[in-house]
Amino acid sequence: MGAHRTPPAARVLASAQEASARLGHENLGPLSADRGFLPTRPPLLCLPESHAGWDEAAARLPALFRDLAVREALDRLPVLSAGPDVLPDAALQRAATVLGLLGHAYVHCRAPQPAGLPASIAGPWAEVRRRLGRSPEPVLAYPDLIVHNWRSTDGRNALPLVSDDLRLLVPVVDDEEERVFYLTQVEILARCAPLVGAVVDAQAAVLDDDAEALRDALDTVAAVLGTATRALRLIDPRPGGRTHVDPVVWAKTVAPLAVPFAAGVLGPSGTASPVFNLLDAFLGRRRHDSQLGREILLHRRSYPPHWRRFLDAVEEVPVPGYLASRSRPDLVASFEAAREAYAGTDGFLGRHRRRVSGYLAVAFMVGRGLTIGGFAGSPRELTWQTVDSALTGSRGERGSGRVVRPPVGRPVRPTGRGISVADLAEHNDGEHGWWVAIDGRVHDVTGFLRRHPGGPAVLRAHAGLDATSAFGRAHTDGQGLRNVLGTTDIGPLTRPVLVRARALHDAWAGALTGLVHLQNAFRLDRSFGRGTDLCVADGDRPSALQADRAADAAARFADEYLPQFAADVLAPLAGLVLRERQVPLGGIRALPGRQGPGLRPDCPVRCRLDLVERRIAAAKALLVAGARCFDTWGEAVLDRGDLWRLAAEAVPPCAGAATVAVHRARPAC
């Protein structure tokens, strides 16, 4: 072994701990061997008396948010100075959390009507961010939302910090979805605190050429990540679970709150956690070419100074380079075990991807048009598949991209009956049951909804559809999974044998699939008001927040999603029928709709929601009838089926217009 040298990471760690103790605050970034990236002191419970108005507004925030009264209350809030003469440095971090959450609640409380920040928030928040050395954009940072936004119910500050014993310092929604989702991240930071010391030890072992010490440090990293991975189970999508986080409630309340105000600005997404950047630096991430790879580098540049310096110091002594220069299979095995515990299929990132996938699928379906990290899209665009692919690609950049799919040849329950696309499409509700298709087999999951580990919402999101792709993203092979697939299998998904009519059948089936997808999205969106008179005649009175979100859903589907679907999919489908039948296209026919009298401007929200439901159901019934024509007549459907009428008549209810223009056949000469 060579002469002992102090590891760069150890020097930065010691300097950070000394500076925080000397300054009496951790504004430069909490960093310690004992608590990792969590503060060594509990976050402040209140601001100085001179700024009690901000604390009082924060205490009222959940009630104001529920009643959609945030803007009125904050407009009346006096403008207070955040200068150093009145607000001490030790109070800056709490001020950043309070003002950031007040500001985001103000902007995002109404859907879809964002507003500019009021003077009572904009000026002081900008001054607080400036004093903390941050960028001028009004951004709610990860330290504000997560790292410094917790309190212990019993006043205990020692590790481990368990989310059951924690509460948010500044809740906005104040429901279980918000508490569990954010405080689970605090618990994960607490569980990952030993990583800081393990990384320093590994760096010292490399400099001392001490293979055994390096192996111990790598084994510690793998063990710590195992406990962090288990903590992901705390975010439970199953109803009745102790830490249940309802995907619909989360998507309608918690998820939009931290979205940045401007495009291209990074918010406090999961990739902002310093644990990810630490492990990337330590394990030698190979590339940052993906969107999430570029995003995590941007987060690193926005970190407080102590975090940035520590990450830079970790990279000064690369562990992968040391292993490459030594012929030690045991060290390589320990390193690969640590990397697999981080980026492997069943490691922290693999489990995180599968957990996130179901929540994002539901979230984008119920109107979450933009993630904190900047992924955007409507329900029809299947944006969660883009996010999932980005998570998979980012994991591959870390050196582990292996995906394990359940085998296609799993045991199934024998049956002689084939199930058509039309049959499948009709089974996406409580009346008909809940069916999904996976790898060419149809599964009746009606009795499995509440037991599904991913929760019932994600099954309802894919009911009546081919869910093969989603299934492959969310599952790895196992005997329990094979048993469930075997017991729910009810037959093969069959398609008619076609040649001439194949292209038209595929287009028709695609249109039906798209409409079922919109129907699932609308029903999930509407379920945010379940138990209220937004959904049932004698239900409870909804909160102002529920009524606002319901009105937004009705407007989005009635005025945006359905008319666009009619124009982009259904009207062209009617024209395609004529072309495939080799019937010359005539002019444009004004087709009368079957809407009945229009709604009054003051029509109750429930009436508007009911109308959207009827419009989707009417269009779907026509497309189902058309799909059955292919099953009945096969190739002869081009000559016998009344497909043009069915496609054309589906357009007006979907478009929501009294008359709709579609192609008609040219009259014979």
Among 473, 492, 511, identify where a domain stops: 492
- 461 inside domain: yes
| Same domain, residue pair 517 and 559 | yes
* Same domain, residue pair 252 and 132: no
Q: Report helix, strand or coil for 663.
A: strand
Q: Which residues pair with 435 in a beta bridge?
A: 444
Whether residue 295 is contained in a domain is answered as: yes
Whole-number Å distance between alpha carbons of 324 and 316: 16
pLDDT value of position 451: 87
Any bridge partners for residue 151, and if so which? 167
% helix / strand / coil in the chain, to the nearest 5?
Answer: 60, 5, 35
2 inside domain: no
List the Cα angle 614/620/625 in 5-degree steps: 130
As a whole number of angstroms, the distance between CA 338 and CA 333 comes to 9
Percentage above 90 pLDDT, the chain: 63
Could you give the CA distance from residue 318 to residue 313 in angstroms, rounded to a whole number? Answer: 10
Per DSSP, what are the bridge partners of residue 441? 438, 492
Domains held by the chain: number: 4
| Predicted local confidence at residue 666, as pLDDT | 58
Mean pLDDT throughout 578-603? 61
Using 50, 70 and 90 to split pLDDT, how confident is the model at 16? Answer: very high
Q: How far apart are CA 30 and CA 316, in angstroms?
A: 21
Taking residue 176's Cβ as centre, other Cβ atoms within 10 Å add up to 15
pLDDT at 369: 54
> d(Cα 463, Cα 518) in Å, to the nearest integer?
11
What was the pLDDT predicted at 416?
46
Altogether, the residues listed in the chain come to a count of: 669
Looking up residue 229, the CATH number of its domain turns out to be 1.20.58.480
Say whether both 438 and 514 belong to one domain: no
Is 409 inside any structural domain? no
Model confidence band, residue 472 (pLDDT cutoffs 50, 70, 90): confident
Output Rg (C-alpha) for the chain, integer angstroms. 28
45-65 average pLDDT score:
98
Question: What's residue 361's pLDDT?
Answer: 80
State the burial class of residue 482 (Cβ atoms within 10 Å of its Cβ: 0-12, 13-18, 19+): middle
Question: Residue-wise over 422-458: b if at least 16 C-beta within 10 A, else e?
Answer: bbbbbbbeeeebbbbbbbebbbbbeeebeebbbbbbb
Q: Residue 477's Cα: distance from chain center in Å?
A: 24
Single out the residue in 431, 458, 492 at which a domain terminates: 492
Whether the pLDDT of residue 458 is over 70: the answer is yes
Reply yes or no on whether the pLDDT at 595 is more than 80. no
Least confident of 361-370, 429-438, 488-497, 644-653: 361-370
Q: How far apart are CA 543 and CA 253, in angstroms?
A: 13
Contact 285, 397 (CB under 8 A): yes
Could you tell me the two tokens for 633? Answer: 């007549």
Sign of the dihedral defined by the CA atoms of residues 22, 24, 25, 31, in that order: positive
Residues 287 and 359 in one domain: yes
Asked whether residue 404 carries a pLDDT value surpassing 60, the answer given is no
Strands 428-429 and 166-167: unpaired
Comparing CA positions, the residue from 275, 264, 257 lying closest to residue 140 is 257
Question: Exposed, middle or buried, 610 (CB in 10 Å: 0-12/13-18/19+)?
Answer: middle
Cβ neighbours around 479 below 10 Å, total: 7
Identify the CA nearest to 439 among candidates 467, 475, 477, 400: 467
Report helix, strand or coil for 261.
coil
Residue 413 in any domain: the answer is no
Cis upstream peptide for 318 (omega within 30°): no
pLDDT tens across 514-555, in order? Answer: 999 999 999 999 999 999 999 988 899 999 999 999 999 999
**DSSP 3-state assignment of 369?**
coil
Cα distance between residue 308 and residue 317, in whole Å: 16
**Where does 377-424 show beta strands of DSSP type E?**
none
179-203 burial code (b ≥16 CB/10 A, e <16): bbbbbbbbbbbbbbbbbbbbbbbbb
Q: How confident is the model at residue 375 (pLDDT cuts 50, 70, 90)?
A: very low
Within this chain, do residues 458 and 430 fall inside the same structural domain, yes or no? yes
371 with 324, same domain: the answer is yes
Residue 405 lies in a domain: no
Least Cα distance to 626 among 496, 517, 518 occurs for: 496
Q: Please report which confidence band the pLDDT of residue 586 belongs to, taking 50, 70 and 90 as the band edges.
A: low
pLDDT digits (tens, 9 = 90+) for 94-105: 999 999 999 999
Is 0.85 topped by the overall pTM?
yes
**Residue 464 in tokens:** 């009546």
pLDDT of 409 reads 40
Q: Quickly count: other Cβ atoms within 10 Å of residue 406's Cβ.
A: 17
SS3 659: strand
Res 599: pLDDT: 55
Is residue 393 within 8 A of residue 485, CB to CB? The reply is: no
Region 456-464: what's the mean pLDDT? Answer: 93
Closest CA to 306 of 661, 519, 19, 62: 19
Report how far residue 447's alpha carbon sits from residue 169's, in angstroms, rounded to the nearest whole number.
40
Q: Which of 128-132, 340-344, 595-599 has the highest mean pLDDT?
A: 128-132
- Whether 485 and 626 share a structural domain: no
Rounded Cα–Cα distance for residues 476 and 346 (Å): 9
pLDDT category of residue 1 using cuts at 50, 70 and 90: very low
- Segment 224-249 shows an average pLDDT of 90
Answer yes or no: do 369 and 432 share one domain.
Answer: no
Read off φ and ψ for residue 454, nearest 5 degrees.
-85, 5
Would you say residue 470 has pLDDT above 70? Answer: yes
Name 14's Cβ contacts closer than 8 Å, sequence gap at least 6.
none
Element (H, E) at 186: helix 176-191
Considering the domain boundaries, does residue 416 fall inside one? no
pLDDT tens digits for range 285-339:
877 777 777 888 888 999 999 999 999 999 999 999 999 888 889 999 999 999 9
Give residue for tokens 């699928």: 361
| 147 Cβ contact list (under 8 Å, min separation 6) | 30, 37, 38, 39, 186, 189
- CA 617-618-623 angle, to 5 degrees, is 95
Do residues 506 and 628 both lie within one domain? yes
| Domain range for 488 | 421-492
CA gap 405, 345 in Å, rounded? 11
Mean pLDDT of 44-58: 97
Q: Has residue 212 been placed in a domain?
A: yes
Lowest mean pLDDT among 446-460, 500-514, 587-601, 603-617: 587-601
Number of H helices, E strands in the chain: 28, 8
Domain C-terminal end among 100, 122, 148: 148
Do the beta carbons of residue 550 and residue 609 sit within 8 Å?
yes
At what angle are helices 274-283 and 291-302 packed, to 10 degrees? 110
**pLDDT surpasses 80 at 390:** no
Q: Are residues 142 and 173 in the same domain?
A: no
Decide if 558 contacts 515 (C-beta within 8 A): no
Helix (H) or strand (E) holding 166, with range, is strand 166-167
Across all residues in the chain, what is the average pLDDT?
A: 87
pLDDT at residue 315, rounded to an integer: 96
> Do 570 and 642 fall into the same domain?
yes
- Only one residue has tokens 């640590």, namely 338
Residues 576 and 536 in one domain: yes
